[in-house]
Chains A and B, each alone.
Chain A
Amino acid sequence: MRITFPHMGNLYIVGRGLFEYLGVDVVIPPPISKRTLKLGIEHAQEFSCLPLKINIGNFIEAAELGADTIVMSGGVGPCRFGYYAQVEREILKDLGYQYDVIVIEPPDTHFSELLQKIKYLSNGKSLWQVARAIRFGWVKARALDIVEQKVQKVRPRESVKGAADHVYQWALNKIDLAGDVKGVLDVQKLALEKLEAIPQEKDKPVLKIAIVGEIYTILEPFVNLDIEKHLGRLGAEVNRSIYLSEWVNDHLFLGLARMRSGKEARKFASPYLRHFVGGHGQETVGSTVRYAHEGYHGVIQLAPLTCMPEIVAQSILPVVSERESIPVMTIYLDEQSGEAGLLTRLEAFIDLLYRKTDWKKENIK
């Protein structure tokens, strides 16, 4: 059994850590590239959203490296992603790839099923060993997010453009290579020190921009055309409504770890949206409200084109934007998205926020 799973931002580092800890043979698909996208577009339905197309590309490229088993998350509610695992299995079968597909439904709704599947995937390891592997994956996920959040703060202020990303790339690689918990924590500490040492223009006026929206598009830089780097270079500090470890905590640990949670975001969504609308639609609305309360200057909503939950959220956001007085811009992404068009919009949005902000008042705060 050689396991693979789709890319989604830094997920591959966590996945590799977890499976290798259990002694499972794991094949990470090559980094998402134009070829991945091309393979996906060629074999997926035109009207399906971008995550499906890239998943397909990932799986084809992983098969070329010898993967034979896919671990894929399922989903509940109106978001189409819930049955993508099944659709992808059928497409791959038609193409002649002999994949065994294991669908992990969100554990907060199907916990016993999850245990069964883990048992199958873990090569008969004891639950204790599985728990230790999950903890190891968790430590990596936390380290990645802690380092990334620091990078997001340094990017807009660094004197030499690209310095923070240089350290970030180094840290990603080191965290991926670390073989035990101590190793991961050491890298985390060192990375934070290195980031702290980067020369920065501390008193430069910096805008705070939040990215909200659909999880895949906000976590995967290939899909969102590196929006965070662009915003950083334009002088904005970025925070996201979803970080990998928060998602893991919400769904796998039932929110037991004390940190920002989806539940909290959903609370903020009231009175604008009180219902689950699938995907992260409700969290998008709630997070926008929360970021407005936290004094952010603007919010950017990201979603794959035709994403239903985010369309629902988008239709509610103008009211949120007005009442909470926070500018919101929505960007849909698909294989047609061009970086030039994105940059023009980002620049215009940043200009809008700069000219609107009373920096004298801001400094007193």
Chain B
Amino acid sequence: MKAYLGIDVGSVSTNLVLMDQEQRILQTVYIRTQGQPILSIKKCLAMVMRENPGIEVKGAGTTGSARQLAAVITGADSVKNEITAHAVAASAMVPGVQTVIEIGGQDSKLIILRDGIVTDFAMNTVCAAGTGSFLDQQAARLGIPIEEFGELALKSTLPVRIAGRCAVFAESDMIHKQQTGYAIEDIVAGLCEALVRNFLNNLGKGKQLLAPVVFQGGVAANPGMRDAFARALNTKIIVPEYYHVMGAFGAAILAKEEVARKNGTSFRGFGTANLDISAKSQECTGCPNRCEIVSIVNGSRILARWGDRCGKWSGLSSPGSIVKEKDLMHA
């Protein structure tokens, strides 16, 4: 069977989608990155190999903060940022979507589309308030499994007001409310409202959020957050079936488009899962910038390098580069 691969390597999770030629999803993989992107990419590929051994990959695409790394390792055809990948995926799942809310482990995004084209976006990576990691932390602190955290919010009759501007203040405010005797479900519901407020204030300023609104990313699993968004925007919130792997789905669609353009794939195959790929970082002493250069190596062969300001190391992989390969240590 012929299929396309999409890989989204984020700070918290690594996701993979296997999609057939009609863009139907055959397999999804969602694992924790745990600070080891190379290992998690290999794991994901191994899981596909196990479940769909006869699959013929026609194209592969990567996205997420480790998209370059993932592309080098897998030989991906398209390397795209998360905004584009999420927008493409949302448009495919919900044609006519005008607003995409995406909240992942460490960042959140708001994408505005009109007629299927991204017209505006905002990203929040500076502040972690309102992202999955913070919710995780609060659930753990209250001793509630994260899966039940959102359900609890729905039981609330009177959400309490929590200061949501900053994760640190939100936490101390929650503790204060809890110590003065407010019901735990009201506090959790209050937290969801505060986080939604934070999201809309930070990312939504100056933007028109029109329906249909799609909510995706790991946090979309949380019914408390869905409910709070629905109330704040006064509209129905659509959570697609594969909300947790939309980035990877978008990457697969983009790979399909790219392969159609260039005819043929550069995907290395599933053998990658067994390769000895590692990353090394070294400081370049060529100038006072002292850039930290990362080299991705397969055994002794250098696959790619980046991290330099001047481009003399990252340019090495492009044919006809001006700078010839030298040992980085003697730069």
Residues of A with Cβ closer than 8 Å to B? 30-31, 33-35, 159-163, 165-166, 226, 229, 318, 327, 336, 338, 340-341, 343-345, 347-349, 351-352, 355-356
Contact = CB atoms under 8 A, between A and B. Distances in A.
Contacts of B310: 165
B320 interface: yes
Contact of A347 (B80, B288, B290): B80
A338 B81 CA distance: 15
A226 B311 CA distance: 11
18 contacts: A31-B287, A31-B288, A34-B290, A160-B322, A162-B311, A163-B322, A165-B310, A166-B322, A341-B125, A344-B82, A347-B80, A347-B81, A348-B81, A348-B83, A348-B84, A351-B84, A351-B118, A356-B119
A30 B290 CA distance: 13
Given A30-B288, A160-B318, A161-B315, A344 B118 contact: no
B128 interface: no
A160 B119 contact: no
B126 interface: yes
A352 B80 contact: no
B311 A165 contact: yes
A297 B82 CA distance: 22
A6 B126 CA distance: 29
A318 B206 contact: yes
Given A162-B312, A348-B123, A351-B84, 6 more contacts: A160-B322, A162-B311, A327-B119, A344-B81, A345-B123, A352-B117
B309 interface: yes
Contacts of A31: 287-289
B298 interface: no
A166 B322 CA distance: 8
Given A34-B290, A318-B206, A355-B118, A160 B321 contact: yes
Interface in B288-325: 288-290, 309-312, 315, 318, 320-323
B185 to A, nearest CB: 36
A74 to B, nearest CB: 29
A318 B112 CA distance: 14
Contacts of A327: 119-120
Contacts of B289: 31, 33-34
Interface in B95-121: 117-121
B65 interface: yes
A335 to B, nearest CB: 12
Main SS class of interface, B? loop
B88 to A, nearest CB: 10
B84 A347 contact: yes
A222 B82 CA distance: 26
B125 A162 contact: no
Interface of B: 65, 80-84, 117-121, 123, 125-126, 206, 287-290, 309-312, 315, 318, 320-323
B318 A161 contact: yes
A355 B126 CA distance: 28
Contacts of B80: 347, 351
Nearest to A338: B125
Contacts of A162: 311-312, 315, 321-323
A348 B311 contact: no
Contacts of A348: 81-84, 118, 121, 123
A162 B319 CA distance: 12
A347 B65 CA distance: 12
A37 to B, nearest CB: 11
A147 B237 CA distance: 52
Contacts of A344: 65, 81-83, 123
A360 to B, nearest CB: 16
A45 to B, nearest CB: 20
A327 B126 CA distance: 23
Contacts of B312: 162
Contacts of B309: 226
A340 B292 CA distance: 14
Nearest to B83: A348
Contact of B81 (A163, A166, A351): A351
The 7 closest A-B pairs by CB, nearest first: A348-B83, A33-B288, A347-B81, A318-B206, A351-B84, A352-B118, A344-B81
Contacts of B119: 327, 352, 356
Contacts of B125: 338, 341
B122 to A, nearest CB: 9
B69 to A, nearest CB: 11
A225 to B, nearest CB: 8
A232 to B, nearest CB: 10
A341 B107 CA distance: 10
A340 B65 contact: yes
Contacts of A356: 117-119
B68 to A, nearest CB: 9
Contacts of B288: 30-31, 33, 35
Nearest to B205: A318
Contact of A160 (B83, B123, B320): B320
B311 A229 contact: yes
Contacts of B121: 348-349, 352
A355 B80 CA distance: 14
B83 to A, nearest CB: 4
Contacts of B321: 160-162
A162 B316 CA distance: 11
A238 B321 CA distance: 23
A352 B119 CA distance: 6
A328 to B, nearest CB: 9
A348 B65 CA distance: 13
A344 B10 CA distance: 13
